[in-house]
């Protein structure tokens, strides 16, 4: 049992936990107007859902439906593992998916459509019949699921959707991040007959797409805040450097969790400063 629990921990991609939990935290920070509304047990419970169960659900579904092709995936080494089915593993993934129900029921009805889209994209990104991850451009677009924890918590606490420019900027950011993450997989995905945005465009085209979409993301954020737009401009600059300095794609891929945590921390601290000091 201990080995299975360790496997589930690794399956959940702890390096990437903040890709869901981070946006949820940002939605809370920018969605509340008073610190007393931020530091609550309810907020903590919702945040913990997006930190652990949501990640187990998302990556468990992904690895289950990718189990046949992951044997050729170079990422499935010491950092990630291929799917290993067992009663405990399957049960934990199932319970993690069901955890969305009490979380959703604890929130106001206005967030239900957002929660449904998040869960739908989380499943159909990897699972048939749609399996967005195997369809060029749709794989990128559907990765907007990572922005939904922000949309959900912001809408819950503020009473309205985030500004349209912020929603667009966040969705565009996730689209680009997905395609950048898929560049190291171009060879194994092509060998497995999977068409993604990255395999369709090729390495050079994918870098061009990633850079262009991240520029659009920064532009959308600038419409709301020049400060935010400036932070988001870091990403197209970095991908340009990675490409022209011919840095190994897999090496650069593992830098970005740290870069994303850093930029998220800067935005979070800024939001908390405004929340506390006005």
Alpha carbon 134 to chain centroid, angstroms: 17
Q: Left if phi > 0, otherwise alpha if psi is -120 to 50, otherwise beta: which for 102?
A: alpha
pLDDT at 72: 56
Residue 75's alpha-carbon distances to 29, 85, 109, in angstroms, are 34, 19, 39
pLDDT at 265: 97
pLDDT in tens, 122-148: 999 999 999 999 999 999 999 999 999
What is the average pLDDT across 222-241? 98
Q: How confident is the model at residue 5 (pLDDT cuts 50, 70, 90)?
A: confident
Nearest to 118 by CA among 99, 143, 140: 143
- Residue corresponding to tokens 């939605």: 27
C-alpha angle 196-198-200 in degrees, rounded to nearest 5: 70
What tokens were used for 20?
């869901």
pLDDT at 227: 97
pLDDT at 162: 98
pLDDT at 99: 98
pLDDT at 138: 98
| pLDDT surpassing 80 at residue 84 | no
Residues of the chain by 3-state class (helix, strand, coil), percent to 5 = 80, 0, 20
Q: How confident is the model at residue 23 (pLDDT cuts 50, 70, 90)?
A: very high
Structural domain count of the chain: 1
d(CA 30, CA 26): 6
What is the average pLDDT across 217-231? 98
């Amino acid at each position: 049992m201990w080995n299975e629990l360790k496997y589930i921990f690794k399956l959940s991609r702890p390096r990437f936990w903040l890709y869901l939990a981070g946006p949820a935290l940002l939605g809370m920070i920018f969605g509340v107007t008073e610190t007393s509304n931020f530091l609550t047990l309810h907020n903590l419970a919702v945040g913990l859902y997006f930190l652990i169960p949501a990640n187990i659900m998302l990556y468990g579904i992904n690895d289950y439906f990718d189990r046949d092709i992951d044997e050729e995936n170079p990422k499935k080494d010491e950092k990630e593992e291929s799917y290993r089915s067992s009663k405990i593993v399957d049960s934990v993934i199932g319970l993690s998916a069901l955890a969305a129900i009490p979380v959703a029921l604890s929130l106001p009805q206005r967030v239900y459509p957002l929660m449904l889209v998040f869960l739908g994209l989380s499943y159909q990104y990897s699972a048939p019949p749609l399996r967005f991850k195997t369809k060029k451009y749709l794989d990128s677009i559907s990765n907007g699921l990572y922005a939904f924890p922000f949309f959900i918590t912001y809408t819950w606490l503020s009473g309205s959707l985030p500004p349209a420019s912020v929603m667009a900027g966040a969705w565009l950011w996730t689209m680009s991040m997905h395609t950048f993450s898929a560049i190291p997989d171009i060879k194994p995905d092509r060998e497995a007959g999977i068409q993604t945005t990255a395999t369709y465009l090729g390495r050079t085209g994918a870098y061009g797409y990633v850079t262009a979409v991240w520029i659009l993301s920064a532009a959308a954020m600038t419409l709301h805040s020049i400060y935010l737009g400036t932070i988001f401009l870091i990403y197209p600059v970095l991908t340009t450097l990675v490409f022209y300095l011919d840095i190994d794609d897999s090496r650069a891929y593992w830098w970005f969790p740290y870069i994303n945590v850093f930029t998220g921390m800067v935005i979070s601290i800024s939001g908390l400063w405004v929340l506390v000091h006005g």
